[in-house]
Amino acid sequence: MMFNKKLIASAVLAAATAFSLSAHADEVNKITGAGSSFAYPIISKWAAAYKKATGVEVNYQSVGSGAGIKQIIAKTVDFGASDDPMTVEDLEKNGLTQWPLIMGGEVIVANIPGNKQGELAISGPVLADIMMGKITKWNDPALQKLNPGKKLPDLAITVVHRSDASGTTAIFTNYLSKVSPEWKEKVGEGKTVTWLSKGNLGGKGNEGVASYTGRIKGAIGYVEYAYALQNKLPYMDMINSAGKRVAPTMANFAAAASHADWEHTPAFRVVLTDQPGDDSWPITGSTFAIVHKDPENPAQVKAVLDFFKWSMDHGQSEAKELHYIPIPESVEKLIEASWAKNIKLK
């Protein structure tokens, strides 16, 4: 991805100016945030390391992207976090600004007796048919065709989805809308949708979906990759837009993320689902931090920016350990420039 060198240089200068002119945050010892459960594992890890390094506590609640947006609009937290970026119009209407803080992959997890990590594969159209209740058994011919030589059980499929307003759901349904015209017409995309499969179950947060899927034989669900690993849930390979079978790996998340054009996209509203390329993981997304542009308490927002600046500078290894894709250094400069341009800290 190419970036204008003059823009990067000016971004560095602007960011430095923002920090030199901003409100003093040294008296702040606690900041609060709420939203995305997709990003909770990494934000909580960053928070622990940041407190150890600076003494500042970051209290982040994994309540879902929809609730996070509501809380930052209501000014009950210092920052919100959402996997479904707000529109330029909604940001302006509410006096907010946003930027990407991490990228990662969603995976399809399935509780099938004897199923191991990456042993089975699924395509977007077949996944959409399962989520709409058109495919109800694991030994359906469409699944068998994708998995030749595998003995699939005569086992009912239970769809597990998010019950809360979820950016993870927004990414997932955005993907399904791209690969299935019927899904797009009948269900669509968003943080909440109407699930058509019979007997489906809703879990709160990525945590809830992982818990239900792990307990119910025949269950299928979608979670951020770290939750699949932490809960030892067997995930499925996927057929991507190039027709290639791909596994959920850092390299394949990065392949999808490489198509992000942060520089030219208003409000950083990049969508990374169903990206081209032989190696691209099809359900890749970003989490966005959200703050007020003209905060009532500038010191609190300055403390938020200090936390995320520290995370970008010092939290790369933690992100990779949890299989997230860190924000590239060139994009960090664009983010800092957006802070200088959009946020009043004096």
**pTM (whole model) above 0.95:** no
Residue 152: give the domain boundaries.
106-249
243/268 same-domain check: no
The amino acid that residue 170 corresponds to is A
- What lies within 8 Å, CB to CB, of 164 at 6+ separation is 63, 64, 66, 67, 192, 204, 205
193/327 same-domain check: no
CATH of the domain at 40: 3.40.190.10
153/232 same-domain check: yes
Q: What is the pLDDT of residue 12?
A: 40
How far, in Å, CA of 169 to CA of 244, rounded? 24
Instruction: Answer whether residue 3 shows pLDDT above 60.
Output: no
Instruction: Answer whether residue 15 shows pLDDT above 50.
Output: no
pLDDT tens profile 194-229:
999 999 999 999 999 999 999 999 999 999 999 999
304/245 same-domain check: no
94/205 same-domain check: no
Instruction: Answer whether residue 13 shows pLDDT above 50.
Output: no
Bridge-based pairing of strands 30-35 and 79-82 is parallel
State the pLDDT confidence band at 27, using cuts at 50, 70 and 90.
confident
State the pLDDT confidence band at 92, using cuts at 50, 70 and 90.
very high
State the pLDDT confidence band at 25, using cuts at 50, 70 and 90.
low
The whole-number average pLDDT for the span 60-74 is 97
Total structural domains within the chain:
2
Higher pLDDT, 343 or 19: 343
Report CA Rg, the chain.
Answer: 20
Q: Torsion angle of alpha carbons 94, 100, 102, 107, nearest 10°?
A: 70
